[in-house]
Structure formats: structure tokens, C-alpha cells
Amino acid sequence: MFICFLLSLANLDGIKSGSCERITNWLKTTEVFNLFRLIFQIIVIGLCSILFGFAFNTFLIPHKLTSGGVTGISFLIQHFTHINTGLIILAINIPLFFVGMKYLGKKFVLFTGYAVLVLSLSMRFIPIRAISPDILLSSIIGGALYGIAVGLIIRQGGSTGGTDIISLTLAKKRNIQVGFLNTIMNLFVVGSSGLIFGWNITLYTIIAIYVAGRAVDMVYTNQNKLTITIITDKYHELTDALFQLHARGVTMTDVEGAYTHKQRKMLTTVITKFELNETKHTIKNVDPQAFVNIIQTMEVMGRFRKN
């Protein structure tokens, strides 16, 4: 009711004064639904980027703990040049945006650019001050926080740039866990950190990277397969929408309701968890009344597109 009141005051197009029911129906339209979803994604990516910067500036950097990838490289460069870490992160990510544009799409690159910008600003303005003097506790908490932040950003269709772009590209092509890929690539940077700051601190850095990698895989896992069955009356429209979304095969079966004896169509397709959110939103937009069952798939044999 409160939303209805605010929208009525706003006098938005498509809403005539009076009925809250008309406002509710307007909110269910595809354009408005997508707009609110976009706003939600922008808010989540922005907040998680700030959380990422907070984790680094309060748990990791004060103890000279780094991550791998672009952020770790930027920290090492900053140690010698005293150039702001956020600016270095932004500069290194620019060429990687073109890789993401080619393999992961324009929307992904725009979200990633936004995340990198917010991250750079947060690392610039959040004071570098240790919350805890305990280096082990800081490595665990800091790693968990920035891992959760990265996982949530990826779930919303973006990334924090750097090795995230590389690992997501390889994950879609080779079916490998994102967190595992990040951990492997990050170890290279950690070796350089050991030579500069000493191996004792580097061991704590490895703990932080491992915890972050596990956190990413808990929040976001894209290599698992899902089988989706959809019972719908709008099977032509929904099939076309699914083809446009991820170009996977869809099997159509005639089914009958045991109680109503009504003839309907059942669509079956296999996707990855990377595509789950977009698939659910597509189904809701085309047929909000569709019955959807999502099942974990152990293995897929035959031709299955990884991208």
C-alpha cells in the first residue's frame, strides 16, 4: 500500500489516479519489472564493491596482506610508486574490459566497469586502519568479506574485473569453478608478495586468498548443471525466449493434469547455475503462471554448450 501511495503521488505514466490494483498490474509489466531489477542489480553491485574496498582497507592492507590478481598487483605497484591503488586498478582493468566485451557481453562489461569504479573510489576514501591487531583473524575475516562481495557481484551479472574476467571466461569455456581458478592465478601474485614483504606475511595472505575462493564458490557456483521443467500454456513464446536467452535445446512434451484433465505443454531444458537467474526472470516475464521445477543435475552426456 505504501508503494501504491508513492507511485500515485509520482503520477507516473501508465498509472491513473485511484486504484491500487492498477498500480500493482503496472508493476508487473515487463518494462517496469526489468527496470526495478536493474536498479536492484546496481545497488547490490555498488554495496558489494564498497564491502570489497572495506575488507581490503581495514583487514588486509594494514597487515600488508594482499590478494592475487589485479588488486594484488596494484597493491605491489602502490608500495613502490605511492600511486593510489584505486587508480592503478582502474588502469589495469581497461584492456581486460575488451576481453569481457567479446566473451561475456556488453552488459557484463558495463556492470564490471561500474563495480571497478566504485571499488576504486571506496579504496581511495575508506581510511586504511586495522580493525583487529590479530593478523590471522584479519586474514580470515578479510578474505571471507571480499570473497562474499565478489560472489554477490558475479551473481548480479558483473565482476570486480581483473582475473575475474579471465576466470569467468575460462569457466564458461572449460567448466571449471570460478573460485578455484582465482585461487590458482592468485598464487602467482602471492609469490611476488613473499619476495617483497617476507614469507611469514605471505602465508597469511594465502589463508586470505583460500578463504575468499571458498566464499566465492559458496555464494556463486556456475559449473553445476540444472534441469528445468516448465508447464505452461505459452509454450511458443517461452520457447522462443529461452532460445534467445542462451541458445540451448528445449524438449517439448504433451502433458495432462490429473485433476483438471487439461492438456498442456511441458518444456525441459538443461542450463548452468550461471544462467539460472536470467532464466527465472525470463519465465516470469513470459508466463507468470507457469509451473517451474528446478532439479540439480549430476551429469550431462552428449552435446551441451558451455557458453
Residue 283 grid cell: 519465465
- For the cut 60, the answer to whether the pLDDT of residue 1 exceeds it is no
Higher pLDDT, 4 or 39: 39
Residue 218, number of CB atoms within 10 A of its CB: 13
Place of cell 503520477: 11
Give me the residues paired with residue 295 across strands. 227
With cut-offs at 50, 70 and 90, classify the pLDDT of residue 171: low
pLDDT for res 182: 64
pLDDT for res 165: 77
H-helix or E-strand spanning residue 32: helix 30-55
- For the cut 60, the answer to whether the pLDDT of residue 273 exceeds it is yes
pTM over 0.85: no
pLDDT for res 140: 95
| Cα–Cα separations (whole angstroms), residue 24 to 29, 36, 241 | 9, 13, 24
| Cα–Cα separations (whole angstroms), residue 166 to 77, 87, 186, 305 | 21, 20, 12, 19
pLDDT for res 306: 56
* Cβ neighbours for 72, distance < 8 A, ≥ 6 positions apart: 66, 186, 189, 190, 193
* Cβ neighbours for 34, distance < 8 A, ≥ 6 positions apart: 285
Give me the residues paired with residue 294 across strands. 228
- For the cut 50, the answer to whether the pLDDT of residue 14 exceeds it is no
Compute the mean pLDDT over every residue in the chain, rounded to the nearest whole number: 80
Residue-wise pLDDT tens digits, 78-115: 878 878 777 888 888 888 787 777 777 778 788 888 99
pLDDT for res 137: 94
Cβ(62)–Cβ(129) below 8 Å:
yes
pLDDT for res 223: 55
With cut-offs at 50, 70 and 90, classify the pLDDT of residue 134: very high
